[in-house]
Amino acid sequence: MAKQWRVAVAFDTTQIFLKGHGTHLAFVGLPGVEHVALADPNHEGLEKRMCELGAKRHYDDYLEMLDREQPQIVVLGSRLPEDHDVQIRAAVERGIHVFCEKPMTSDLRVADELIALAKKHNAKIAVAHLARHALVFQTMKRMIEEGAIGTPLTFYGRGKEDERGGGEDMVVLGTHILDLGCYLFGAPASVSAEITVEGRPLRREDRSVTKEPLGPVAGDNVFALYRFPKSVRGIFESRKGLFRKQVRMGVSVVGTEGILSVRYDNDRKLRLSRTPYPPEDEAAYEEVPLVETRQIPGAEELRDFGYFWYFRENNRFAAWDLIRAIEENRQPLASAYDARKVLEMINGAYASQLTGRVVPLPLAEREHPLEKQENVAK
């Protein structure tokens, strides 16, 4: 008989500005999954949310739900790092596996503690860095490894570059780009960055007021250069206020024999240029057909629920991967370890700006650079 999975969900819908990406629905329709409960202090529209999940019981309090229901997996739908710090800790201390929205946390010290706790209690933490589960990026990775663009030279990513452009963009959306770089090429060895505010070098006291609580954030113009394995250079860039009608967020990988590119628009198409020349010389693109061969045996048809198809599809694959990771006693494809690497890449960019040096990764210093009193801008 197939194993049955008791899944509980925590999703505080009083945070009306944080609709999220449907993470709380990731396990709906997966074989062997029973949604035992939902924790949500908001009673308005509760019946609909319970029905969508198929949840049997409701709790106002998250900890009470964990103790009474004793689920094997808990899904954390909040986008706020300060929520995750408490919720993940409570779950893994009880030996409960976790699937949470990104960012996992804004504090490297907390990331270290959560990973250590999870290891101690034999709990897995999966983070919703969905690019690792997306067919378009899995195809990109396969084509790079098969030599479709020759030797990869440069990984280039931009954030959304709207009113959050710069430091806030790097945390909210840049996490996806930076994690994708690690997925494609491995963890970088160093970072060198230039971060500015209104055209001048960032100083430690230049803290930004963000749309949502994200931890320390600063700068309206970020340029970060990462040294990935095998001499691949990675660039992340975000400038405030450049977004108009066309989506700017995207990634390109330039190789000796071609270029692969994906724009983060509604289609998320993979495009290939078969030219050995630099992109400014000759870069006519063709669309790469995506062939879906992945299957989840026994899964129900994917339901809409009003969320973007990319989130619905890849949240489901992320949830299924967590189940298999538990069964196979391995780390999830997008794990807490991967989320910590991204946080180090972000903190390392600030450290480079504030010290004027190339910063080795992983970081020796765990405190956030914007909170260190001795940092002086160059």
User: Which pLDDT score is estimated for 17?
Assistant: 53
Give the residue-averaged pLDDT of 3-7: 91
298: left (phi over 0), alpha (psi -120 to 50) or beta: left
Instruction: Give me the domains of the chain, ranges plus CATH numbers.
Output: 5-123 (3.40.50.720), 132-292+342-371 (3.30.360.10)
Between 64 and 204, the more confident residue is 64
Q: Which of 234, 32, 261, 308 is nearest to 143 (CA)?
A: 261
Judged against a pLDDT cut of 70, whether residue 218 lies above it is answered with yes
Whole-structure pTM value: 0.94
DSSP one-letter string for 193-237: EEEEETTEE--TT-PPPPSS--SS---SEEEEEEE-GGG-EEEEE
Judged against a pLDDT cut of 80, whether residue 145 lies above it is answered with yes
User: Which pLDDT score is estimated for 377?
Assistant: 46
**Beta pairing partners, 201:** 196
User: Which pLDDT score is estimated for 284?
Assistant: 85
At 378, the pLDDT band (50, 70, 90 cuts) reads: very low
Q: Measuring CA to CA, how many Å separate 227 from each of 144, 332, 348?
A: 18, 25, 12
Q: Which of 70, 350, 74 is nearest to 193 (CA)?
A: 350
Backbone angles phi, psi at 52, to 5 degrees: -60, -45
At 19, the pLDDT band (50, 70, 90 cuts) reads: low
Judged against a pLDDT cut of 90, whether residue 292 lies above it is answered with no
pLDDT averaged over every residue in the chain? 93
User: Which pLDDT score is estimated for 251?
Assistant: 97
pLDDT tens, position by position, 20-69: 789 999 999 999 999 999 999 999 999 999 999 999 999 999 999 999 99
Between 296 and 210, the more confident residue is 296
Residue pair 257/149 in contact (Cβ under 8 Å)? The answer is yes
